[in-house]
Amino acid sequence: MMDWSDRHFRHFLRLLAPRALLYTEMIVAQAILKGDRPRLLDFDASEHPVALQLGGSDPAQLAQSARIGEEWGYDEVNLNVGCPSDRVQNASFGACLMARPALVAECVAAMRSAVAIPVTVKCRIGIDDLDSYEFLEEFVDTVAAAGCGTFIVHARKAILAGLSPRQNREIPPLHYPTVWRLKEARPALTIVINGGIRALAGAEPHWARVDGVMVGREAYHNPYAFAALDRRAWPADGPIPEPRLVVERMRPYFERELARGTRLHSITRHMLGLYAGRPGARAWRRTLSELGRRDGADFSVVEQACRAADGLGAEPAGA
């Protein structure tokens, strides 16, 4: 979810899903040590609980970055061992690390010694020819022995050569029973399933078999599907707010961010899915996309997009 699940998106999603654990985009440990930490790590208090997802393979760097994340106020640190992109592989981290479970364990042990908050791992069920259940179980056992009690498992293997990240989310077949089997074999571990889950109905088979469900891009494109999953887990949280109410609750955030120099489009680009599957979705997207990019655009653009979605006002010229 790099460039997607930034602080603006997480604040927006929190209004729809009050309790779900939210994750940052993957942030390279070295960037935290040498880069603009406020830009990389700042988040709104409303986002809690929120986990910092790290990429890297150097135990010392990861430990230091994890400590900084804890000091910044994050509730969890997650090591991404599932991303298959060439850029990540070239830096020797992400999914390629599954071939080196001892190194992943060393990274986890270093992070665990540096922080008091949970350290978790996100991985695949395998990579390339290392795709047997026995390989996955051995990988998990090795890393768990270093102090990791929670694994978020994407139920596809990653093919590290010849497929793009998008193809790696679509071409290798999903195999949910592998993740279910892992939970059954290791009941003391917290096992969260990920991959291809797009709606409440699609998540239902998993509730009794694993400890949690992770949803990624579907939460971005269809946030109400994510909200339905949140209410499935915590039904006492009450009804999901309608789009108009979500927009109104976003108003103070827009005002704060615009006052500090944030461009409107930096926030609204993450809200294009608010009306997904509803009448007016096209008008909503088009108004935000065309007017939200203009210099000086303010919250009135979001209000105009609402009116257009509700059929109460015109879309931008040319619609």
Q: What angle do CA 104, 114, 90 make, to 5 degrees?
A: 35
Q: Catalytic: which of 83, 96, 123, 306?
A: 83
Residue 83 is among the residues annotated as catalytic for this protein: yes
Note whether 108 and 121 are within 8 A (CB): yes
User: Distance of CA 35 to CAs 16, 75, 106, Å?
Assistant: 32, 22, 24
3-state secondary structure 92-121: CCHHHHHHCHHHHHHHHHHHHHHCCCCEEE
Q: How many helices (H) and strands (E) does the chain have?
A: 16, 8
- Helix 243-259 with 7-16: angle, nearest 10 deg: 150
Spatial contact of 112 and 103, defined as CB atoms under 8 Å apart: no
For 280, the token pair is: 């007016």
Question: In sequence order, which residues have a C-beta less than 8 Å from that of residue 120 and are 6 or more positions away?
Answer: 51, 76, 77, 78, 79, 148, 149, 150, 151, 152
DSSP string for residues in 11-23: HHHHHH-SSSPEE
Catalytic residues: 83
